[in-house]
Structure 1
Amino acid sequence: MKKYFFCYGVFIFLVFGLLTGCKENIDSVKNQSTSITNISAKKSTNQSTANQAKELVIKRDDVTGVRGVNTDKELLIAITVPQIDRFQLKTIEKNVKEELKKKYPDYKIEVSTDQKIFLELDILERKLEEGKAGEKGLKKEFGNIKRLMKEEA
């Protein structure tokens, strides 16, 4: 009789261990914050267009992070997408670009899903926020990032 109780106890312990060990971590996906950085418009270069564009793009379900910078006539946006949507990068990029062109017809818009461009725009955003990049620095960095986008295309 003691042998059966021991076997049942071990069986229940193993089942409980398997059930708790194989549970999906759904909470981490739900709590994942969207990644967006607003750049202050009080600095020497007005980034309100980029901020509005980022707010528009981050509302999409297939976008998890947005970085963007603008000059007088151009707008560069880099986006990150969830792992599950990686096979549709070009489609997502095209849809975001069309959406932004409708909203900002006066701007030449470039959209990228490349992680390198995302990181470069993040660095440029931080420089603008801290006031380390003026109008000349913005145009120089902007040109470098555009060149990087063309190289990888």
Structure 2
Amino acid sequence: MKRIGLLFTLLILLTGCSEKGTKIENTTAYNEDKLEEVLDQNGHVKLAIALLHEKDLITGIRVNTFSRFQKKKIASEIKKKLEKAYPDLTVTVSADSKVLLETKKLIDKEKQDEYQKKIDKIKSIEKEQT
């Protein structure tokens, strides 16, 4: 009985740690379907958070464990696809956890008047890493 209880506890803990999906916040007139398609098509991406605001597209991604050594390559491939899909926007894609967390925090705050200042901060974080 103790072994079965321990097994169920481990399974619950492991399933709670796996975060998957795509979250997109769009404050523009641009269609977000192409963005979601690009992010979902890439099999290496485990989690993606994107923000479309004015002339900026900020995307933070988390890659699968076995793809972590190719993070920059995956991010640059996604960036190229998004630049092709949204030529009018300034596209920023990063696999850096800090960019992902800051983008998530920004979307969760829901204060659109502060978006541009925070977007500039996120861009500077992304430039620091490269």
TM-score, normalised via structure 1 length: 0.66
Q: Aligned letter for 1:149?
A: E
Unaligned runs of 5+ residues in structure 2 are 1-6
- How far is the alpha carbon of 1:52 from its aligned partner? 4.7
Deviation track 1:85-125 (CA, whole Å, cap 9, x = no partner) reads 11111211111011111111111111100001100101111
Q: Which residue of 2 aligns with 1:99?
A: 81
- Number of matched pairs: 117
CA RMSD after TM alignment: 2.5
The correspondence for 1:64, drawn from 46, 53, 58, is 46
Runs of 4+ displaced beyond 6 Å: none
2:21 aligned residue: 35
Gaps of 5+ in 1: 1-20
2:103 to 107, 112, 121: 121
Q: TM-score, normalised by structure 2?
A: 0.76
What percentage of aligned pairs have identical amino acids? 26
Q: 1:82 to 1:34 in 2, by over 3 A?
A: same
Change (3 A) 1:51 1:150: farther
1:75 maps to 57
Corresponding residue for 2:127?
150
In structure 1, the partner of 2:3 is none
Secondary structure of 1:105 counterpart: coil
Distance 2:57 2:31 in 1: 8
